[in-house]
Structure formats: structure tokens, C-alpha cells
Structure 1
Amino acid sequence: MVEVREARYFIAVAEELHFGRAAERLHMSQPPLSQAIKGLEHRLGVVLLHRSTREVRLTAVGAVFLDQCRMLVGASTAAEAAARHAADGQAGELRIGAVTSAFNDPLPGALSLFRRGHPRVEIQVEEVDTHMAVRMLRRRELDVALVRQLATPPDCRRAILRSEQFVLAVSADWAGTPLAPHDLGSAAELPWIWLPRHISPDYHDQVVASCRAAGFAPEARHTAHSITSQLAMVACGLGVALVPESAAPRPGSPDSRSTHVVALDRTPTIDLAAVWRRDTTPLVDDFLTSVRAAIER
């Protein structure tokens, strides 16, 4: 195997075609350089250079070997640069997990901002349930996750990105349904579209707490597996759902024609939080900066 150091030596001699000038270029004395080239030829079992008292010339084998040496040194230089860029957060891979609602906001803006400053970073994004996100972080399948997480796992860090109110999502076909403005209790007798607790425990518990505070236990007639599918089922007229305000259709959007949003009083808030391992990387820090900037916008 040819070492990078040996490749650099041979490139200098092959380009200078003079051992003295090559030694000066390499900032070394001539005898060790000559010995290194002889040792390389002996180990490879080939003649790379024709030497005489007047000149040094490349052999045909030496010309082919020179091209390969340049490739070897180039690859070594690129590897060193990649390691430096990865260390300062300019290159590498970032694996992001996010609950479904985060794909509406703030993920699009955060990814746009992050890509501008990190064009060489390979980004992998995966939709995850909150309960799975921490497991995937611990198994190092994710680097950071945006989840509806209230507690901080002991081996992770957590930052609240946004606290938001719940709103009640109702099908537009139910425009005549007697729902009192701002009163969740007026939806007590309606069918509900439910998100099971194992998918997002904190989210589920906050919905249950909201309903209990309003004096009723909802009839969980239909089951969804994400907030997005909850809203799709609401639009189909199957029932109502309590969802974070950022996940609900915005006024004037196409979805607002099929789903109405009822603002509520006295509901608990739900956090969108970032969770990541304690042994973080500069890429995670930079991504979190992009997320916060997207939310502030």
C-alpha cells in the first residue's frame, strides 16, 4: 500500500525531474528523498524513474503511477477538508424526525434557512410519532426530533419551541351544529376522532385534561394515527377533534373550506419541543437555530 507521504514525495520528484529541487520543495534533504523513492520502487517491484548524472525521466510505469498518486493526494486532502467541515458544522449528515403537524410549520421554513447556510449537509427527514422519537434518538437513528414532548428524557436535552392553544376542528358540513363559541363543553355530545395514547402520550393526556376540565368524557368513535389524518377525518364529517392551533387549517387556505376551527377558552397548552441527545453536534445546534428563526418569522 502506498502511503500519502510517499505519493507526495513521488509527485514532487516527477514534476521537478530533479531530486535536489524536489527536496527543497518538500523542505527536506535530498538523501532521505532518494532513499524513499528507491524503497518505493523496490516494494512495488517496478522502475518509476530513469536516473543518470544528467537527468531524471519518468518511465511509462512512472507516468501512470503519477496520475494515481495525484488522485491519492487529492482524496486525502478532500478527506481532511470534509473532517474539518464536519467538525465546524459545515458538512456531514443530519437526521431529523418530526411529528406530522411540524411538516406544516415550522419545518418548511427551518429547512429552507438551514440549507442556505449548510449546502453540503445531507439532510434526512422522517415522520415519527412522539413515543418513537426518543427511542430512535437513543438508538442513534435520529440526531434531533420535533415532537409533542413534555418531559425531558434523562440522556437527552429538550427545548420548548412553541406553546400553543388547542382549537376544535369541525367539518364545514356541520355549520349548523349548536357549538357555543369558545366553549369546549358544547361538543360533549358529538362523536370525536381520537389519537391513541401510545402514539403521543403527552398530546393525548392534554386532550383528555381539556375535556375533563370542560366537564365531560368524549365519545372516541373514530381513531386516527396522526393529527393530519384526524383533520382529514374531520373534513369527511366523521366527528370533531381537538388539535394544536398551528396544525389547524388557516383562514383562506383550501382546507379551511372543508374544516372550520372553533377557538376555545381555558384549554391547556401543548408544546412543540425539540429533543436531542446530550452528545450533540454543531449541525444540531445550527438546525435548532434555524427552527427558532422560522418560528419567530
Structure 2
Amino acid sequence: MDIRKLRYFVAVAEELSFSRAARRLSISQPPLSTQIKELESELGVRLLERSPREVKLTGPGEVFLSRARAILEQIDAAAVSTRRAADGGFATIRIGVVASGLFTATPLLTAHAERIFPRAEISLFEMGSAEQLSAVLREQIDIGLVHAPVDVPNLNSRLLTREPYVIATSSARARGRPAPAGLHAFADEPFIGFSREVSPALYDNLIVACRQAGFSPKLMHTARHVFTMLQLVREDRGVALVPASVAQAGIAGIALFALTDRINEVRISAVWRSHPSRLVQALVADLAPALALPDAGPTQ
């Protein structure tokens, strides 16, 4: 399929006008119409509904627009990376990150990448663990930072960081509570948890930890992002089991309680394809884990 036809289609789909798209592309309208018809013929579907008054996307046209944009973005990114390499630079390093590793694994890996490739451009993509595993396999990112354990065919992993959990509560809900505390002390509280779809390991850790403490959590809300959870905590919607390093965010109106329970830690691993590019090989060759993280200092 001709890349030019993709660019022509995207222009028409975004402008919803052949005349405006032609001006945008600096071509005349007849060849533009011809290229779109040829594209529809190749695909065997109608992408656009045309009338004298308007142009509209069909259902298949909307699907194709999304995919065409993604393809063109990758082509443009490849061209930029190639030109940078020709100028003596390096291609972009694409790193997937989980929000719960913002203060731990993410700075560890990005600092390492900057030392190995000082002229590289580092692009961070915030995704859940499951999304990252899929993105690494599809080569949409070069390396991911995901919640351990990782046991996926065709992927290698290395544990980078581990840290304890703490309980986050609103300042109002924290008044009068002793610290540190056992998890059972929060048995009657509504809980806010990580989305199981996005962070299955963290969701499961909450359920298992509470059951080990002798109760089942009253899970009132789930969220994709740890900072969404903390905002709900701040609004006194419930309590949350979160990584201790969130203390570094310094969010007002939240109290953090160290726990006396022996529960699973928050573990984050780097993950990459079993047959990586030379860039990734160099990146992970001497990637040393930082398992002894400084205490995040949970406080009441």
C-alpha cells in the first residue's frame, strides 16, 4: 500500500473536504480524488461518504483513520530517528512506566539510559503492566517497567526495585490512630484499590494482604493511576494500600501509615524482548538492580 495514499486519506478525513485537503497537501483536487478511490478499491471497502454538500467517514473509515495515523506517526518517528543517527546521535529509547514506579524504578532506569546513551532522546509512556507487556512484544516500546513477577514467553525480565506498602488515609481519618499499625486496624474502612485490568499484581496484593489480616476489604473504588487513588483518599472516600515512595509526592491532606504486617512488597521489573535490538542489549547489559531502596518515610 502506497504511504502517499495514507497521507491523502488522513488529510481528507481530518478536513472532511476534498478541496481543503487538496490545498493542505498542495495538490489539485482530481488526483486526490483518484488516489482515495484507488485506496478504497485496494481495501475493498468505502471509507468516505461523499455528497455535493459534505464528506463523512464511514464506520470502516473511522477504524482505518486511527490505524493510518498510527502508521504515519511511526514512519515519521523512524525518519526523525534515522536523521538524528546520521548526525551522530542515537535513536529514541522508548520506555514504558507504571505510575507506582515514578519515584523508584523510573528514575533508576532513565538515569542509567542517560549514562549509556548521553545523546539519546528518552520517551516515557505511562501504561499499566499488562499494556506494557503487549507493547514490548509488538515492539511499540523498547523496554518496560512493570510489576513483578513476569512470566511471559519471549520476554526477559530483571527485578529492579522493591519497597514496602503503606496505608494512605485522609488527614481527618488519621486523627487518633497509632502508627505504625496493623492492616486489621483498617478492616472497617472502605478501600480504594488499583484496577485489576491494569495492575493485576497490585490488586491481588491488596486482596491477599487483607485476607491474611483476617478480613475481606470493602472495595468501594478502583483506579488506573496511583495519584487518582490518592486524590480519592484525600477526599476521604476511603483508604488505600500504596507504595511507600508516594510520600515523596508530598500531597497535602494525606497521612501514610507504616504497616506491622508481613505482606508482599511492591516489586518492579524491567522487561524486554528475548531477541532485543542492539540498543536494548547495550541498555540492559549492566543494568544493576537497586533493591535496597531508601525508606520513603511513611508518616502519620
Instruction: Give TM class, smaller chain.
Output: 0.5 to 0.7
What corresponds to 1:138 in structure 2?
Answer: 137
| Closer/same/farther in 2, CA of residues 194 and 177 from structure 1, 3 Å limit | farther
Q: Offset at 1:179?
A: 5.8
Q: Note the 1:26-175 alignment, pairs <5 A.
A: 82=85, 91-175=90-174
- Residue 196 (str. 1) matches residue 195 (str. 2): yes
Q: Offset at 1:282?
A: 4.0
Q: Is the 8 A contact 1:109 1:291 kept in 2?
A: no
RMSD between aligned alpha carbons? 3.0
What corresponds to 2:257 in structure 1?
Answer: 262
Looking at structure 1, the residues matched to 221 and 162 of structure 2 have their Cα atoms a distance apart, in angstroms, of: 27
Q: Is the 8 A contact 2:168 2:256 kept in 1?
A: yes
Output one character per residue of 1:125-159: Cα deviation in whole Å (capped at 9) or x when no partner.
Answer: 10000111111111110111001131321110011
- Secondary structure, in 3 states, of the residue corresponding to 1:206? helix
Looking at structure 1, the residues matched to 84 and 228 of structure 2 have their Cα atoms a distance apart, in angstroms, of: 45
Looking at structure 2, the residues matched to 266 and 293 of structure 1 have their Cα atoms a distance apart, in angstroms, of: 21
Identity percentage over the alignment?
Answer: 30
Aligned length: 211
Q: Offset at 1:223?
A: 2.2
What corresponds to 2:206 in structure 1?
Answer: 207
Unaligned runs of 5+ in 2: 1-81, 295-300
Output one character per residue of 1:196-251: Cα deviation in whole Å (capped at 9) or x when no partner.
Answer: 211111111111110110011111112211112111211222111001222x214x
* Match for residue 247 of structure 2 among 223, 245, 249: 249
**What is the letter of the counterpart of residue 247 of structure 2?**
P
**What is the letter of the counterpart of residue 147 of structure 1?**
V
Q: Offset at 1:290?
A: 6.0
Q: Offset at 1:109?
A: 4.9
Q: Is the 8 A contact 1:107 1:291 kept in 2?
A: no
Q: Is the 8 A contact 2:165 2:244 kept in 1?
A: yes
Looking at structure 2, the residues matched to 242 and 80 of structure 1 have their Cα atoms a distance apart, in angstroms, of: 46
- Residue 273 (str. 1) matches residue 269 (str. 2): yes
**What is the letter of the counterpart of residue 258 of structure 1?**
G
Q: Offset at 1:287?
A: 3.9
Q: Is the 8 A contact 1:179 1:187 kept in 2?
A: no
Larger Cα-atom Rg = 1
**What is the letter of the counterpart of residue 171 of structure 1?**
S
Looking at structure 2, the residues matched to 294 and 119 of structure 1 have their Cα atoms a distance apart, in angstroms, of: 25
- Secondary structure, in 3 states, of the residue corresponding to 1:241? strand
**What is the letter of the counterpart of residue 190 of structure 2?**
P
| Closer/same/farther in 2, CA of residues 93 and 180 from structure 1, 3 Å limit | closer
Looking at structure 2, the residues matched to 139 and 216 of structure 1 have their Cα atoms a distance apart, in angstroms, of: 41
Q: TM-score scaled to structure 1, two decimals?
A: 0.63
Looking at structure 2, the residues matched to 293 and 218 of structure 1 have their Cα atoms a distance apart, in angstroms, of: 32
